[in-house]
Structure 1
């Protein structure tokens, strides 16, 4: 064939294939070779032994009654995040006050101040009146207390004066002067001791009258006892402011040797 092609110079040769055709042919050959290689590997690893007979297994079933499944919990869908809107500047318009309303407000405030001042003034007057009334009551109470104390003092003085007058008008006789009798020499020499009681009368002038010895008395002690009794002086007894005589006054003389 090659010779025929070479000898025939007058024939028109077909155009040579383009490089793109050569590249496709080479790729196809490579793909066929790869498939042949994979097929050979599979055949080499394929098991040659006969598989064993499958074992028969007995399946045992048991009927179990189960409770109906609980309803699925509702899916909680988280709320969509709230995207705050951008703050917008708020422009407040200040209303212009009505002059008449403003005037009324000022008048009401002035009237309220006047009422408050009047209330405070009345409160101060009330407090001053209460203070003055309390001071007057305290002064009156002090005066009454002083009058009561003065009356009590006057009453006490009157009672003391009456008691003193009553005591002065009616009092017991009181001894003013008493002198001891002389110890008889004979009794002293003999060592005689004893008591001697003398009974007498005190006249309105406070002097002793009619002394007499009563009871047991040693004869040596009679005379000195009577003599000593006559020297006694008394403050006379007063009855209704008048001095009276006192009967049956007794005095005992004790004679002892020391």
Structure 2
């Protein structure tokens, strides 16, 4: 509109308008008409009511906590489709017969009786095992006692033998022979090649001389006389008991006749 006013101020010149001026006037008029049209439209559509007060907008802030970034999920491999299982036909429902209380009670009594028998059998086995162990213990004690008695008897026998040997050795020492001469070999036995043994038993008197010699056991007749003669010639150291010389009976000597 101001431009139109400035354009209208040029009409005061007395000179004739040029074609350019005419074009400017036409443009100004067209512009003025357009402005008037727009103004009329605005006035027609202008609201008659009082405009509402502008609403005050409030800016609201909210603190939001962001979750940590999710870890990448492994790639899910789709499973091959599974064929559906065939639907089994429903089996007919069989009604289970209820047990008879009397039969159940009888079974319980039988089970209790069986347990009682098992316990009795176990007690009997334990009793037999204890008896066996007791019997074995008694037998072992008897065996040990018998072994001790046997050892004691052997020891006593060995002691008695040792004592007898000591007595015999002491007795033999008390009448040890002082002189013994071998008998002469009979010539007839030598000629015939006869050999043998001859045992002579006799008594040694307190003086150590041989008395009453006799042949004991088997002896060849050719060896009897020389054996008795040789025994008579023996001399012994007499046995001394309580400081006195005593005689010793049953002294034996065996003569061996061998041809070399």
Give TM-score scaled by structure 2 length. 0.34
Give TM-score scaled by structure 1 length. 0.35
